[in-house]
Structure 1
Amino acid sequence: MKPSLLVVLAVALCAERAFSLSCFTCKDASSNIQCMNIATCSDHEKYCLTTYSTTGLGNDRKQHITKKCSAFCPSIDVNIGIAGVATSCCETSLCNFSGASSVKTSYTMIAVGVLASLACILRLGF
C-alpha cells in the first residue's frame, strides 16, 4: 500500500506543477521585442504583470517596459505630463505578450503645471 501512496503523491505534485503560470519577462526594456524571455511563476504568483513607463518629450522621449510574474495586480495609470506609468495584468500563461497601454505625454498637463507655477510666483511677488 505504501508504494501506491507514493505514486499518487508523485502524480499529484507533478500535475500541480504542470499547471503553473508562465509569463513573459524583462526589465526596463526599450521595446516589446526584448521581452520574449519566459519564466515559470511560483505558486503564489497568479498574475502576469506588465508595466509601461515613459519620460521626456518629443525626440527625447524614452520608454521602459517591465514584465514579470506577480502575486498581486496593481492598477496604476498616472500621467504627469513629462512622465507616465501604466500597468496591465492577466491570469493565463503567456498572456502578457503585448505591452501595456502606452502612456502619452500630455501637453495640457504640462501647460497647467507651468501656469500654476507662474500664478504662484506672481502671487508671492518674486
Structure 2
Amino acid sequence: MQSSEYNRAHSLVCFTCKDASSNWRCLAPTMCRSAENNCVTEYSILETGGHSGQSISKQCSVHCPGGVSCCSFSFCNFSRASSVKVSYSVLAMVVLASFVYVRAGL
C-alpha cells in the first residue's frame, strides 16, 4: 500500500460549515488533510435588534485553539451545543407523551 493511499484511508472526517444558524445546517462531512488532527466547533451568540440567535462554524484544524470545542476522532463534532442536546430531550418527551396519549385512547 502506498503512503498516499494509507493517509487517505485513515483521514479524520469532521463536519464542516461556516456561520450556520443551527447545528442541523452544519452537518457536511469533510475529509481533513493529513496534518489536521482536530475537529473544531465554534459557537457564537448573535444579538441584533432585540433578537438573539447562534452562529455555528465547524472545521478541520491542525491545532485546537482556546475557547472552542475540539475533538480528534471522525464525526466527533456532530453536536457540542447544549441547546441541541436539550432539543433531543424535548423530542424524546414529545414522542413518549404521544405514545401514552395514543395508548390511553385519548
Match of 2:77 among 64, 82, 96: 96
Which has more radius of gyration?
1
Contact 2:7–2:34 (CA under 8 A) maintained in structure 1: no
The structure whose RCO (Cα within 8 Å, separation 6+) is larger is: 2
**What residue identity is the alignment partner of 1:89?**
C
Q: State the 1:62 CA deviation.
A: 2.0
Q: How does 1:1-126 map to 2 (within 5 A)?
A: 10-56=1-47, 60-76=51-67, 87-100=68-81
Q: How many pairs does the alignment contain? A: 83
Q: TM-score, normalised by structure 2?
A: 0.69
Deviations 1:69-122 (A, max 9, x none): 01110121xxxxxxxxxx1000001100003456xxxxxxxxxxxxxxxxxxxx
Percent identity at matched positions? 48
State TM-score, norm by structure 1: 0.59
SS at match of 1:56: strand
Alpha-carbon distance in 2 for matches of 1:75, 1:13: 31
Q: Secondary structure at the match of 1:73?
A: coil
Amino acid at match of 2:13: S
